[in-house]
A = this chain, B = another copy of it.
Amino acid sequence: MNIRFYNARILTMEKNRDVFEGEIWIKNEKIVGVFTCRELAELSEDMFPRIVWDAEIDCKYNLLMPGFKNAHTHSAMTFLRSYADDLPLSRWLNEKIFPMEAKLERDSIYDFTQLAVLEYLTSGITSIFDMYIDPTTVAEACMDAGMRCVLVSGLNNFTSSAELMEEEYLKFNQKNSLISYQLGFHAEYTCSKDLLCKVAELAHKYRAPVYAHMCETEKEVEECKIRYGMTPAMFLDSLGMFTYGGGGYHCVYMSPEDMDVFSMRRLHVITNPASNLKLASGIAPVAEFVKRKIPVSIGTDGPASNNCLDMFREMFLVSGLSKVREHDAASMDADKVLRMATVCGAKAMGLNKADVLAKGKFADIIMLDMQSPNMQPIHNITKNIVYSGSKSNILMTMINGRILYHNGNFHIGKSPEAIYERCKNHLKRMLSE
């Protein structure tokens, strides 16, 4: 499909490039041109007729920008939304989450993942970094819907194995442009030292980065210190886990030494502010990460702990929580945060072709309504997006050159109602068992 977006405001998210008016041209899954009005006027006259457009979309001076990268998700956990809130963490996990997860089947994981995909599309999320049981099914659900997904292993003592992870790593890093796979494990506290050593071996074998939940709660850090005499970040690094980089999800309780490890190994922090509030985990020292030039990206975490999959909420929180933590209203400005939610997320996920809007990049593009009251007046578009933006402003979400959501309608090959109905039926079974 050849698609032309015209009359657009464009924010490419390339460094030091401001919003401008112009056009974006798409051919199949790639961007083939991003033009300012001036560049368009200077294009050779016979360029236009050579392209036959399948669709020409008048953007009416709404904003085109790269889609959001949701850098930490457990998508299929939609089935637990509003099922287990307002409980202490241990009761939440042991009485509610684990017993219900034990009843999941292939079909239900597929449909619960597609329910999450619907929500991602309404929030302008074009890539997810997803850790969950049965990545094969998650990949299928995403591929069938057209969602870009970077799978990461949630390996632990009870689920999967290093051998299976290696198999998945090789299988999913084939040439499918929508799906890729990163090495990972659930967390230090759910993996034996033996298992972690096997993960480190694979990291060395494939010169690959490794990702895991890290330093989410004070308890996790204290227990690791008792077990190994080191914090999780220090301990994992001592196993050679991060020779080829990687990153940590959450990173709420990080010592200066942990941050040194992150700096030295160029590890990514993936912050999850709403989930950290809702589970009473704490407020991550994001300003300190930024000061140390540790790359930060943003994830919603799963719907059991957040409960919504909305990057606008997360962006406001990254800024607002940093301001209140640092007692400084100037902390963590909107430009930094918007970069985290887009370019930095793409880097963390290894999606170097989905970071900015430029020729040759994947066409992962969203359109934001500038004619909504919360986007008026337009003193500064970036601040409007980060501080007053809402998923209600998402007019269109395009992934890999396909328009999957437009003016409130989904184009993923089935109706949302059909997905809701299937999810409802799965839950009926699971709750009655």
- Residues of A with Cβ closer than 8 Å to B? 78-79, 81-83, 85-89, 92, 115-116, 118-119, 122, 274, 276-283, 303, 306-310, 313, 316, 319-321, 323-324, 326-334, 371-374, 376-380, 383-384, 387-392, 416-417, 420, 423-424, 427
How many whole Å from A275's CB to the nearest CB in chain B?
9
In the assembled complex, the Cα of A383 lies from the Cα of B378 at a distance in Å of 34
Asked whether, in the complex, the Cβ of A376 is within 8 Å of the Cβ of B277, the reply is no
Contact residues in B for A332 (Cβ distance below 8 Å): 86
Given known A122-B392, A373-B115, A373-B416, contact A85–B334 (CB-CB < 8 A) = yes
Contact call B427/A374, Cβ cutoff below 8 A: no
When A274-B316, A329-B92, A371-B416 are in contact, do A306 and B85 touch as well, CB less than 8 Å?
no
Do the beta carbons of B86 and A334 come within 8 Å of each other?
yes
* B residues less than 8 Å from A279 (CB atoms): 323, 329
Q: Is the CB of B387 within 8 A of A390?
A: no
Among B79, B83, B316, B379, point to the contact of A83 (Cβ < 8 A): B379
Do the beta carbons of A88 and B276 come within 8 Å of each other?
A: no
Smallest beta-carbon distance A144→chain B, Å: 16
| A327 to B278 CA separation, bound complex (whole angstroms) | 10
Contact of A371 among B92, B282, B417 (CB under 8 A): B417
Alpha-carbon gap, A371 to B281, bound state (A): 31
The answer to whether A85 and B333 touch (CB under 8 A), given A122-B372, A324-B280, is yes
Number of chain copies forming the complex: 2
**Residues of B contacting A115 in the complex (Cβ-Cβ under 8 angstroms):** 373, 376-377
Q: Are A320 and B122 in contact (CB under 8 A)?
A: no
Contact of A81 among B81, B83, B326, B384 (CB under 8 A): B384
Q: A82-B387, A306-B387, A326-B280 given as contacts; is B119 within 8 A of A374 (CB)?
A: yes
New A-B contacts (4) at CB < 8 Å, excluding given A82-B387, A376-B420 = A81-B388, A118-B373, A278-B387, A280-B323
Residues of B near A313 (CB, < 8 A) are 313, 316
Partner of A390, one of B278, B379, B392: B392
Contact status B329-A82, CB under 8 Å: no
14 contacts between A and B (CB under 8 A): A82-B377, A82-B383, A83-B379, A85-B387, A86-B331, A88-B328, A122-B372, A280-B326, A307-B384, A308-B387, A310-B390, A376-B423, A377-B424, A377-B427
Chain B residues closer than 8 Å to A387, beta-carbon distance: 81-82, 85, 278, 306-308
- Contact: B377 with A423, CB < 8 Å? yes
Partner of A320, one of B82, B274, B310, B331: B274
Q: How far is the CA of A87 from the CA of B387 in the complex (A)?
A: 14
Contacts of A330 in B (CB 8 A): 86-88
Chain B, residue nearest A114 (CB):
B373
User: In whole angstroms, how far apart are the Cα atoms of A424 and B324 in the complex?
Assistant: 32
> Which of B87, B323, B334 meets A277, CB within 8 Å?
B323
Q: Do B79 and A377 have beta carbons less than 8 Å apart?
A: yes
The answer, among B83, B118, B323, B383, for a CB contact under 8 Å with A307, is B383
- Whether A374 pairs with B309 at a CB distance below 8 angstroms is yes
A121 closest partner in B (C-beta):
B373
Say how far A423's CB is from chain B's closest CB, in angstroms.
Answer: 6
Interchain nearest-CB distance for A68 vs B (Å):
15
Task: Verify A388–B306 contact, CB threshold 8 A.
Answer: yes
Q: Is the CB of B392 within 8 A of A391?
A: yes
A376 contact set on B, CB distance < 8 A: 78, 81, 115, 420, 423
- Per the bound structure, the CA–CA distance linking A167 and B188 in Å amounts to 67
With both beta carbons as reference points, the residue of chain B lying nearest to A86 in the complex is identified as B333
